[in-house]
């Protein structure tokens, strides 16, 4: 079984300006980054071109969202074709803030995944339960249902990375313990094995997201089914380099 390449995504969310992001980009461009880790930075839409033009070619760039069609009367939206036209190769879809702040449904996220993949964008597809769902014991049900809708819209899994982000751990300072993360990742991989294929289960990368820091990244990265991270707040700080190098 080929080893899964470690993947670290930084989700800058709605943060930064040309000065602060320029400084961050300089830090990343000049840092010693682990050769075997794939790195992708999710820039705000208005800075996608800026990020792609200034980041070193070894670092990928992702949009944080896109719409489900190529063009049209959809004020405020962007399409995969526009993202590709900026030289950007990835998009983050289904993030919990899109689901819970902006009301995106599983169905819409699935349609976005299908359209992004049809346009040859890589997709970082996010899944994860809220605190009340974890406390009610429905974590697996929620995560499997969200993954099913994504899976229904994927033909080529080589372009998809899954990001498990327990909503209760995003930006709260609460992190799932390495054991909690591993437990969900392992069960998710077994679900993929049973519902998609052995090949996809063995090859698809499952990232952990939710208050990942320089302090906790090494222990999380040591878990057998944690194949990387989707990092929020810490991706805007120099410690992002430490997180990228968690397996170094």
Does the annotation mark 97 as catalytic?
no
115 is catalytic: no
Catalytic hit among 38, 95, 115, 133: 95
The torsion angles phi and psi of 46, rounded to 5 degrees, stand at -70, -15
CB 162 within 8 A of CB 206: yes
Contact (CB, 8 A) for 198 and 1: no
Of the listed 38, 97, 165, 185, which one is catalytic? 165
**Residue 210 Cα distances to 9, 102, 149, 166, 168, angstroms:** 12, 19, 22, 6, 8
- Catalytic residue numbers, as ranges: 95, 165
């Amino acid at each position: 079984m080929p080893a899964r390449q470690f993947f670290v995504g930084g989700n800058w969310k709605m943060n930064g300006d040309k000065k602060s992001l320029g400084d961050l980009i300089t830090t990343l461009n000049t840092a010693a980054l682990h050769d075997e880790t794939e790195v992708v930075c999710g820039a705000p839409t208005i800075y996608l071109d800026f990020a792609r033009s200034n980041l070193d070619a070894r670092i990928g760039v992702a949009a944080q969202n896109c719409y489900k069609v190529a063009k049209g009367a959809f004020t405020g939206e962007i399409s995969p074709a526009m993202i590709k036209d900026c030289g950007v190769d990835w998009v983050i879809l289904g993030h919990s803030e899109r689901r819970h702040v902006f009301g995106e449904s599983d169905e819409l996220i699935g349609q976005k995944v299908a359209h992004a993949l049809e346009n040859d964008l890589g997709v970082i597809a996010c899944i994860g339960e809220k605190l009340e769902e974890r406390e009610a014991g429905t974590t697996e049900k929620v995560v499997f249902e969200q993954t099913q809708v994504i899976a229904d819209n994927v033909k080529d899994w080589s372009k998809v990375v899954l990001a498990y982000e327990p909503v209760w751990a995003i930006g709260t300072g609460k992190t799932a313990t390495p054991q909690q993360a591993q437990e969900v990742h392992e069960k998710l991989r077994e679900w993929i094995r049973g519902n998609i294929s052995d090949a996809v289960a063995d090859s698809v990368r499952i990232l952990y997201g939710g208050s990942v820091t320089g302090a906790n990244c090494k222990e999380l990265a040591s878990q057998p089914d944690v194949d990387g991270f989707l990092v929020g707040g810490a991706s805007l700080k120099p410690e992002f380099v430490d997180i990228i190098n968690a397996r170094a």
